[in-house]
């Protein structure tokens, strides 16, 4: 069967197209898809996701009852952000080239293609439902946070200080975007302040205003371990107790994949996922759990003290992500609440650990 073309939008997916995709992945060796029930899922900011419940004729019992599809955002501004920063290309690249080399639980992919000229892309992958969705606005329990630390280590340990990562051109090219991000920061912060001044605490806004000073240091740092970094490792991109509790957690939305410090993911998850009060009580425990899991998975050249120091330093990322994301994507009521929650949590974390002083000392 001929490989199907990219479905630029969900409306381009019909039963014949889905049959060709699943036939190509081996998930539907016999039979055909005869009907699709399509419903939106998730809270993606730069991509739109849908669950396809399948009606099949002549399919084996092993054929999937449903799959999930992801496409470029319908909102023009969000789609432009995804294209400008190659977010779509990174996610497709992750599923095609990187996912099988790391230990974190991610969905099996049936189709992963992108048109580099238009940035239209299609991902069709395994449905992790039924599952318990993470929710950035309500936060998570410490038990869920412990699970996330184990999964973060499963992502980072297999490619820890792996020089071959830098041979993946589209992955290594992420650093090429740093100058544009730095140049855009003053305008982004101006827009952020216009939107949230008087809503965000003064001490937090003062950190936001220092990002143009700190981010060049943060993004140019060369020392320390490097690995595969999710970049947006937070609750809205995570499902717990996936496939009816068969597996502990699944991680989605790999658009910000990069080469960098693993502690960036860990610090960001903790600041964005649990309240400052719970974080202060449990962050040492969570970092110790992550470090112990790294060691169990074979990382032997990274001390517990260095891990804790990097945890404190990487809080910059959460502040940046809250501010940058708020201005880069379509504005919604949930988005405002989300980005304020993320920024407040990251700023509180950075203030508690004197993070910015660690970069300017």
Q: What is the pLDDT of residues 136-145, one digit of tens each?
A: 999 999 999 9
Q: What is the pLDDT of residues 97-119, one digit of tens each?
A: 999 999 999 999 999 999 988 88
CA end-to-end distance (rounded Å), the chain: 61
Assign residue 177 a region: left if phi > 0, alpha if psi is -120 to 50, beta otherwise?
alpha
Residue with token string 């009521």 = 333
DSSP class of residue 237? Answer: G
Nearest to 9 by CA among 68, 51, 49, 41: 49
CATH 3.90.1200 residue spans of the chain: 132-360
Give pLDDT, residue 313. 95
Report the share of the chain in percent with pLDDT over 90: 80
Assign residue 9 a region: left if phi > 0, alpha if psi is -120 to 50, beta otherwise?
beta
Has residue 338 got a pLDDT over 80? yes
Give pLDDT, residue 44. 66
Residue with token string 């509180």 = 348
CA distances from 225 to 42, 154, 163, 232, 260 (A): 33, 16, 11, 19, 8
Q: What is the pLDDT of residues 115-135, one digit of tens each?
A: 988 889 999 999 999 999 999
Query: In the structure, what pLDDT confidence band is assigned to residue 1 with cuts at 50, 70 and 90?
Result: low
Contact 277, 144 (CB under 8 A): no
Give pLDDT, residue 252. 95
Q: What is the pLDDT of residues 30-79, one digit of tens each?
A: 999 999 999 998 766 678 999 999 999 999 999 999 999 999 988 888 78
Q: Which residues contact 74 (CB under 8 A, 6 or more apart)?
A: 9, 48
Query: In the structure, what pLDDT confidence band is assigned to residue 223 with cuts at 50, 70 and 90?
Result: low
Contact 10, 37 (CB under 8 A): no
In whole angstroms, give the CA distance from residue 302 to residue 324. 31
In whole angstroms, give the CA distance from residue 86 to residue 176. 11
Mean pLDDT value across residues 175-201: 90
Peptide bond into 130 cis (omega under 30): yes
In whole angstroms, give the CA distance from residue 339 to residue 322. 5
CATH number for the region 132-360 comes to 3.90.1200
CATH 3.30.200.20 residue spans of the chain: 10-126
Give pLDDT, residue 86. 85
Nearest to 94 by CA among 298, 251, 270: 251
Contact 145, 286 (CB under 8 A): yes
Looking at per-residue confidence, does 222 or 146 come out higher? 146
Q: What is the pLDDT of residues 274-307, one digit of tens each?
A: 999 999 999 999 999 999 999 999 999 999 999 9
Give pLDDT, residue 139. 94
- 3-state SS string over 282-314? HHHHHHHHHHHHHHHCCCCCCCHHHHHHHHHHC
Side-by-side strand order, sheet with 109-114: 32-41, 47-57, 66-72, 121-126, 109-114
Has residue 222 got a pLDDT over 70? no
In whole angstroms, give the CA distance from residue 79 to residue 328. 10
Half-sphere exposure at residue 142, Cβ-oriented, CA atoms within 13 angstroms: 13
Q: β-pairing, 247-251 with 227-229? A: unpaired
Q: Which of helix, strand or coil describes residue 54?
A: strand
Q: What is the pLDDT of residues 205-221, one digit of tens each?
A: 999 999 999 998 887 76
pTM value surpassing 0.85 = yes
Domain 10-126, CATH class in plain words: alpha beta
Give pLDDT, residue 80. 83
Give pLDDT, residue 125. 96
Give pLDDT, residue 317. 94
In whole angstroms, give the CA distance from residue 105 to residue 313. 27
4-12 contacts at long range (C-beta below 8 A, 24 or more positions apart): 4/111, 6/113, 6/114, 6/115, 6/120, 6/121, 6/122, 7/69, 7/71, 7/122, 8/71, 8/72, 8/115, 8/118, 8/120, 8/122, 9/71, 9/72, 9/74, 10/38, 10/48, 10/50, 10/69, 10/71
């Amino acid at each position: 069967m001929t490989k199907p073309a990219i479905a630029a939008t969900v409306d381009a997916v019909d039963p014949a197209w889905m049959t060709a995709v699943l036939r190509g992945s081996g998930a539907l060796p016999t039979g055909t898809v005869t009907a699709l029930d399509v419903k939106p899922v998730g809270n993606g900011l730069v991509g739109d996701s849908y669950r396809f419940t399948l009606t099949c004729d002549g399919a084996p019992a092993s054929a999937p009852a449903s799959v999930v599809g992801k496409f470029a955002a319908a909102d023009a501004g969000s789609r432009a952000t995804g294209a400008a920063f190659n977010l779509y290309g990174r996610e497709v690249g992750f599923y095609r080239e990187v996912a099988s080399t790391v230990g974190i639980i991610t969905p099996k992919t049936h189709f992963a293609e992108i048109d580099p000229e238009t940035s239209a892309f299609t991902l069709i992958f395994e449905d992790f439902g039924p599952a318990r969705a993470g929710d950035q606005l309500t936060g998570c329990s410490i038990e869920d946070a412990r699970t996330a630390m184990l999964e973060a280590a499963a992502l980072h340990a297999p490619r820890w200080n792996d020089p071959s990562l830098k041979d993946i051109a589209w992955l290594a090219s992420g650093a090429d975007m740093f100058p544009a991000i730095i140049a855009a920061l003053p305008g982004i912060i101006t827009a952020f302040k216009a939107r949230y001044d008087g809503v965000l605490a003064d001490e937090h806004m003062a950190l936001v205003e220092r990002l143009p000073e700190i981010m060049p240091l943060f993004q140019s740092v060369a020392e320390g371990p490097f690995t595969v970094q999710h970049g947006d490792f937070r609750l809205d991109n995570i499902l717990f107790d996936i496939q009816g509790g068969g597996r502990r957690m699944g991680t989605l939305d790999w658009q910000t994949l990069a080469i960098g410090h693993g502690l960036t993911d860990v610090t960001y998850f903790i600041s964005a996922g649990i309240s400052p009060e719970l974080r202060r009580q449990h962050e040492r425990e969570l970092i110790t759990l992550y470090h112990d899991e790294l060691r169990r998975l074979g990382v032997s050249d990274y001390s517990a003290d260095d891990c804790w120091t990097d945890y404190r330093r990487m809080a910059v990322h959460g502040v940046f992500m809250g501010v940058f994301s708020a201005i880069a994507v379509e504005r919604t009521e949930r988005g405002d609440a989300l980005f304020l929650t993320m920024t407040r949590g990251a700023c509180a974390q950075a203030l508690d650990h004197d993070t910015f002083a660690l970069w300017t000392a």
